[in-house]
A = this chain, B = another copy of it.
Amino acid sequence: MRIVVCDDHLLLLEALGLALGAKGHDVVALAGTPDEAIAAVAMHRPEVCLLDVNFPGGNSVAAIHQIREISPETKVVMLSAEADHAVVGRAIAEGASGYVGKEKPIVEIIEMLDRAVRGQLAVEPALLQRALRPQKTTEDPLWALQFLTDREWQVMRCIMEGQTTEEMAEALGVQRSTARTHVQNLLTKLGVHSRLQAAALMSAHGSHESWPAHLR
């Protein structure tokens, strides 16, 4: 089995190369970035590419698509430090064939690579199940983020910083009652019942990209 491995941790990369080699597999290239991985796949056309999901910049999911495009016969297996079912879903949707955790022993990783090469989906069943479950994009509170006004974004920022209504009013240069109204409207638009829930919503689902560019 010819493999291209991609991870930003050189240590893991090299060690994994040696370990896979010791198990009789052919690691044809080690890549430190998704771009390197794409180039390596284009050159070597391996059976499988083991790709770390956790790249600074988060372009690893996009890399799946590119790899699949330039080398459709290459199966992509994602390697991750944590089991994140949201990422699993996106990865599979982009064309990945598997998703394994770094906490797994090497033999298990290799087994997953085997499964991917045989055309099977190499994902832990429980994880896949959770990845598929929350398919209700309707009634999505994140949709509402679009309709927040600039002022409400500023209020959101204050909320995220843990400010009280008073501090917020001070920061925005308005009366408490005004700040309060903004908070009220914000909560209503987001469909939540407390500023803490609003903050939780943002920190859980609202990536940096959710913020209006001019207010980030």
Contacts and interface: CB of A to CB of B under 8 A. Distances in A.
Given A199-B196, A199-B203, A106 B15 contact: yes
Chain A interface, >50% SS class: helix
Contact of A105 (B8, B14, B102, B198): B14
Contacts of A9: 12, 81, 101-103
A1 B14 CA distance: 20
Interface stretch (A86-94, A126-134, A154-162): A154-162
Interface string A2-13: 000000111110
Interface residues of A, number: 40
A164 interface: yes
A160 B203 contact: yes
Contacts of A106: 10-11, 14-15
A216 interface: yes
Given A9-B12, A15-B19, A162-B194, 6 more contacts: A10-B105, A11-B104, A12-B102, A15-B15, A22-B22, A160-B204
